A = this chain, B = another copy of it.
């Protein structure tokens, strides 16, 4: 943990130094909503660049990221039956379900999610989001702009998590999300 924090502190200094020159020109004050939870001027990106991460049918749109903002707001959309990577990290997730329904795992607990529910993922807590089988699950996720990289579970972590049959069932994709 000490290592992570010192990395973050270092990165912060760098950002502060360069902030002025990066921000001046590119801010659009208004970006209209388009159909189907897309936005003008917002690019739909791949969910992850990490090849080792397991996930299914999920896209990422960065709605707000600016050197003057200490947080970022992203929109993730998990297609019906899809799921996000099972991972953990020091930084927190602050999530608002914008569209659809589904389930999430947070630590050892499974929560049923409805539109506009709020989810807090505490530091170093294993988590995964799964859409229902019938419709996409779209959610806003606020994170610190400067944050550590996600960790993937080891075989031991997975064994510990799936020792609980409900968690094993969740990670298998059934019957939750039906």
Hey, which bits of chain A sit against chain B, CB under 8 A? 27-33, 37, 39, 42, 63-64, 66, 68-73, 91-92, 94, 96-97, 106-107, 109, 111, 113-123, 140, 142, 144-146
Contact indicator B109/A33 (Cβ below 8 Å)? no
Contact indicator A119/B30 (Cβ below 8 Å)? yes
Which of chain B's residues have a CB closer than 8 A to the CB of A107? Answer: 29
Stoichiometry, copies per complex: 2
Contact indicator B120/A27 (Cβ below 8 Å)? yes
Contact indicator A33/B115 (Cβ below 8 Å)? yes
Minimum Cβ distance to chain B for residue A1 (Å):
10
Contact of A121 among B29, B106, B120 (CB under 8 A): B29
Extra pairs beyond A28-B120, A29-B120, A73-B96 (14, CB < 8 Å): A29-B121, A30-B106, A30-B113, A31-B117, A31-B118, A32-B117, A39-B118, A42-B118, A63-B94, A64-B94, A69-B71, A70-B70, A70-B144, A70-B146
